Amino acid sequence: MTAAEPTLGLRERKRLATRRAILLASIEVVRDRGFEAATVDEISRVADVSPRTFFNYFASKDEAILGTGPMLPDEAGLQEFVDARGSLFADLFEVLKPGVEKSVGDHDLVLLRRTVMKSEPTVAARRMATLHKFEFDVIALVARRLAAETGQDVDAPAVRDRARFVGLVAVAAMRHAWLCWMDAGEPDAAELLERLRWSLSQLEQLGAASVAR
């Protein structure tokens, strides 16, 4: 589809296959044995690689089980957001969209992760740490936008403060969308995006709103 890889070399294909095998094995073992009892030895055995190879692909057991956090687009996409002048949160939706879509790309992985998250609360807790870098990036991005809007410096205290607030709150809305999506058991990315758009839009109506209908 995306004609970027004419024919991935054998080496590349094997690497991707091994990586995916370890990812799937990790979550399967956690599902079957529980998070605490899941060992790298067992995961490696299931994935059919040596324990040493496991650590060639993932820096830690957590990384394989939890996955990495979502990502922001490249500089071009970021600049587009900085220059946009729509509603702040509506524009944020557009810039968050590709990263969210990508993070739920592997269908099997998403389904496995979901069952694990529900039964293993410690996994959900640890996953939070992966959001920290993402939050940091979002805050920096919002600061760029606010600085551009107001002509102030990105390091101006007022900009920093406001960007932090907007960034943190936006990521909170993103997590809200994600949690509700997981809860509802919807498998597709489309529903997640719709929920994300809705959650972000809700931020602008926090003052007026009460409980939903």
Interaction site with a copy of itself (CB under 8 A): 124-126, 128-129, 131-133, 146, 149-150, 152, 158-162, 164-165, 168-169, 171-173, 175-176, 179-180, 183, 199, 202-208, 210-213
Q: Whole-number minimum distance, CB 88 to a copy of itself, in Å?
A: 8
Residues contacting 141, CB < 8 A, separation 6+: 72, 78, 81, 82, 95, 167
AA letter at 207: G
Question: Which window, 58-66, 89-97, 147-155, 161-169, contacts DNA (CB under 7 A)?
Answer: 58-66
Residue 97 binds which entry of DNA, a copy of itself, none, CB below 5-8 Å type-dependent: none
Shorter beta-carbon distance to DNA: residue 22 or 200: 22
Q: Whole-number minimum distance, CB 103 to DNA, in Å?
A: 22
Q: Whole-number minimum distance, CB 63 to a copy of itself, in Å?
A: 13
Backbone angles phi, psi at 68, to 5 degrees: -95, 160
Is residue 28 part of the contact set for DNA (CB under 7 A)?
no
130, 84 Cβ separation under 8 angstroms: no
Is residue 107 part of the contact set for DNA (CB under 7 A)?
no
DSSP secondary structure of 112-156: HHHHHHHH-HHHHHHHHHTHHHHHHHHHHHHHHHHHHHHT--TT-
d(CA 203, CA 169): 8
Q: Whole-number minimum distance, CB 47 to DNA, in Å?
A: 9
97, 193 Cβ separation under 8 angstroms: yes
Identify the residue among 16, 32, 33, 50 touching DNA (CB under 7 A): 50
Residue 188 binds which entry of DNA, a copy of itself, none, CB below 5-8 Å type-dependent: none
Q: Whole-number minimum distance, CB 133 to a copy of itself, in Å?
A: 7
71, 85 Cβ separation under 8 angstroms: no
Residue 31: which of 118, 103, 129, 106 has the closest Cα?
118
